[in-house]
Amino acid sequence: MGTFTAGGEVLIEDGQVRIVREGHSKKFIQQVEQVTFSGAYARQRNQPVHYITERGVFRLIDDGLELIEIAPGLDLERDLLSQMEFRPQISPDLRLMDARLFQAAAMGLGGSSVLPLHERVHYNAEDNVMYINFEGLTLDTPDAAHELASFLRRTFADLGRKVNIVVNYDNFNLSSAAEDIFFEMVRYNQEHFFLSSTRYSTNAFFRHQLGEDFARADIAQRFYPSFEEARRGLRSQQPE
């Protein structure tokens, strides 16, 4: 997360972004002096990555970066693409950034999910593994649990084959009101769509709590402390 260029001046007026003075240095460049975050490693881990600026939001994909959102009031070519040393892919569903970002009022994010559901799943056809990211997801109502269950059922059904899954449960919050629906979903998916499954959380408290929750629901599952161990655990379940 950071500014799109260095040294510029941006003004927000009536919910629109205006470039008052263009930055003196570009940040989206062909070569860098040092690497502090590796996109290639993130892709190996099937980690969702977004690059967020005041002008637009990019998503890391297999072929590089894809522009998925643009700030209201800006021109795509003039204000973004001309200030980059490479041309990203442009999402066919390119949309405006959330208008609440450019208003003075509070955004009311307390009960909302950081990622939409379609960005929480990634299927690797070569390994037949579905990676599911529940990090930061809150299921606090029956409706929220039903929405997730319907989305995953459609997603798995559309694949037309059973898959292996790895699920990230970091900072996952499940209320008592949504528990029954959630675990009914898990049982149904395991029976109808899964070849094997592993789950992980890097937080020891969450692992302990989730283990107890799954045990009460009578669903046997070990929670691993890292993605790498969960991935290895998945391989150990698969037949030779």
Please write the tens of the pLDDT for every residue from 158-181. Answer: 999 999 999 999 989 999 999 999
CATH 1.10.3720.10 fits 5-102, yes or no: no
Per-residue pLDDT for 182 more than 80? yes
Please write the tens of the pLDDT for every residue from 87-142. Answer: 999 999 899 998 989 998 887 766 556 678 988 999 999 999 999 999 989 999 99
- Strand 138-139 and strand 163-168: the pairing is unpaired
Q: How far apart are CA 15 and CA 13, in angstroms?
A: 5
What value does the mean pLDDT take over residues 48-75? 94
User: What pLDDT sits at residue 112?
Assistant: 57
User: What pLDDT sits at residue 109?
Assistant: 66
Interhelix angle for 142-159 vs 176-192, to 10°?
Answer: 10
Domain boundaries along the sequence of the chain:
5-102, 117-237
User: What pLDDT sits at residue 62?
Assistant: 87
Per-residue pLDDT for 147 more than 90? yes
User: What pLDDT sits at residue 172?
Assistant: 92
Among 61-75, 79-93, 96-110, 197-211, name the one with the lowest average pLDDT.
96-110
The strand pairing partners of 163, in sequence order, are 194
Provide the residue type at 112 as one letter. Answer: S
Split at pLDDT 50, 70, 90, the class of 73 is: very high
Tell me if the pTM is above 0.85.
no
User: What pLDDT sits at residue 215?
Assistant: 92
Split at pLDDT 50, 70, 90, the class of 40 is: confident
Residue appearing with tokens 């391989």: 235
Among 8-12, 104-108, 127-131, 183-187, name the one with the lowest average pLDDT.
104-108
Interhelix angle for 204-216 vs 176-192, to 10°?
Answer: 80
Mean residue pLDDT across the chain: 90
User: What pLDDT sits at residue 240?
Assistant: 43
Percent of the chain having pLDDT more than 90? 70
Q: Which helix (H) or strand (E) holds 72?
A: none
| Pair 133, 120: CB distance under 8 Å | yes
Per-residue pLDDT for 39 more than 80? yes
Name the residue with higher pLDDT: 100 or 81: 81
What value does the mean pLDDT take over residues 20-40? 91
Residue appearing with tokens 């299927």: 123
- The fold of 117-237 is Transcription Regulator spoIIAA (3.30.750)
| Pair 178, 139: CB distance under 8 Å | yes
What value does the mean pLDDT take over residues 35-53? 86
**132 — alpha (psi -120 to 50), left (phi > 0) or beta?**
beta
